[in-house]
A and B are shown apart, each in its own frame.
Chain A
């Protein structure tokens, strides 16, 4: 499964990535490719460092070893100004939305445009309304972030992420904590934006069903390694019992229901006595 040469069409390639936090190894020699124009999902149980992977790709964290290249640039060798230039071409959707709470929806979407361009206010207005229309929330432009529902906040954050017309978007758990309708809206939006804007999307998620609907490729990560990768269909057909458990959500399997502990009977009974 270890690829050595980057795929021809890879926008992002990760090679021999290792990263640890304290004594815990989050990634151990991970290699993967994200193809241009596709939707790639990174899946795995909570706490396997999926969000950490996004932060590594975006250059917010530095790996212990290994190389991550985005569009031919080695993220962790870039100087600060170059890294910031690269980030202008990446959008990231945080789990919380990360909207600036002291600004209205309109100003939030206008924020990257005002920071990075010298466009006249009339053109910024046109762009902001276009982006808001794309996520269906043009009518909500006067609201403040605390007046938004979780699903709306995420859509606004998505409008902000596409404000600078990036080449790729990183989604951090886009479906977590959403009602079925907003979930459906987000699934539709991610798919539609990816094809209409010619984006490359990376979704980090553990919502198997929604992610399988739109992903072109799924990587499943567990305990710092890539367990398997392929199309959603291939994952469902996988012979690995671990993948089967993950995809179907069975309570017990290769990933045990119980946290490691000493023998149950020994734990309940007074020490040393066994009847």
Chain B
């Protein structure tokens, strides 16, 4: 009488969450409106915090870099130092951490509450697969937003470094740009930084969506899931950053 299949299915679903979500990505492509809405709430709404944080991080890099470089009389390389730290490391990592705090926690809380208020099972009862309708567009939106946000972060940071270096400390702005242009490599630095931001965006969105979908449907369960999202994303981002850095920049 008893089929093993269904019982297995309820065990399998959380474990193959990612595969199910990825298979749902095709249907998102057919419905760009769903994606646009999510790009707005995941990406556009994270823009301000990324912009302001990028500016301050860049300004601090300008200050700290100047104090050290001026000891060696190498103030002219300030532009390179600021840009390299941002593009290679701080841009992808800090913006991913901010992204996990701003967008990831919001995703977890949203999905957890949809589960707690029976919206997900209501959708299932209307024969709409919540993984395709709710989860997949959000994953794709996170995946697309993160590299753009990291790019904004690095760009604004470089401008912040210039404001401090050239505006406050008297570094020649021509040298600031020229050193950057001469020494920063497109493939080694910019492409590798881009790859990092794609990986971090994917991992942060995946963790946030999984924690929301897997949350215990009570207020305490959702609060715990949100905390787990931020903590696990931060650990994963920092750990992966070490691994990726070792692989990418190890032999140069």
Binding site for B on A (CB under 8 A): 55, 58, 60, 62, 64-67, 76-77, 84-85, 87-88, 90-92, 94-96, 98-101, 111-112, 115-116, 160, 164
Contacts and interface: CB of A to CB of B under 8 A. Distances in A.
A88 B127 contact: yes
B2 A101 contact: no
Contacts of A67: 1
Contacts of A164: 126
Contacts of B1: 65-67
Contact of A94 (B6, B114, B118): B118
Contacts of A76: 3, 6
Interface string B56-94: 000000000000000000000000000000000000000
Contact of B125 (A62, A87, A96, A99): A87
Nearest to B7: A62
Given A94-B118, A98-B118, A101-B117, A112 B126 contact: yes
B122 A92 contact: yes
Contacts of B179: none
A100 B119 contact: yes
Contacts of B3: 76-77
Interface residues of chain B: helix, strand, loop or mixed (majority): helix
Nearest to B37: A102
Nearest to B8: A62
A39 B118 CA distance: 24
Given A98-B118, A100-B119, A101-B117, A90 B2 contact: no
A94 B122 contact: yes
A124 to B, nearest CB: 15
Contact of A96 (B117, B124, B127, B129): B117
Contacts of A87: 124-127
Nearest to A85: B127
Nearest to A84: B127
A115 B133 contact: yes
Given A65-B2, A76-B3, A115-B133, A60 B127 contact: no
8 contacts: A60-B121, A66-B1, A88-B126, A92-B122, A94-B125, A101-B114, A111-B128, A116-B127
A115 B125 contact: no
A98 B124 CA distance: 11
Which 5 pairs from chain A and chain B are nearest by CB?
A98-B122, A62-B6, A84-B127, A98-B118, A87-B127
A101 B121 CA distance: 14
A124 B229 CA distance: 39
B125 A60 contact: yes
B217 to A, nearest CB: 11
A214 to B, nearest CB: 22
Interface in B101-130: 114, 117-119, 121-129
A64 B128 CA distance: 26
B10 interface: yes
B12 to A, nearest CB: 13
A41 B128 CA distance: 27
A173 to B, nearest CB: 12
Contacts of B121: 55, 60, 94, 98
B209 to A, nearest CB: 16
Given A87-B124, A88-B127, 11 more contacts: A58-B125, A62-B7, A62-B10, A65-B1, A66-B1, A77-B3, A84-B127, A87-B127, A90-B125, A98-B119, A112-B126
A101 B116 CA distance: 12
A200 to B, nearest CB: 16
Given A65-B1, A98-B117, A98-B119, A112 B128 contact: yes
A13 B75 CA distance: 83
B131 to A, nearest CB: 12
Contacts of B10: 62
Nearest to A95: B118
Nearest to A77: B3
B6 A96 contact: no
A64 B7 CA distance: 9
B126 A96 contact: no
Nearest to B6: A62
Nearest to B118: A98
A260 B7 CA distance: 34
A231 to B, nearest CB: 29
A256 B121 CA distance: 35
Interface in B124-172: 124-129, 133
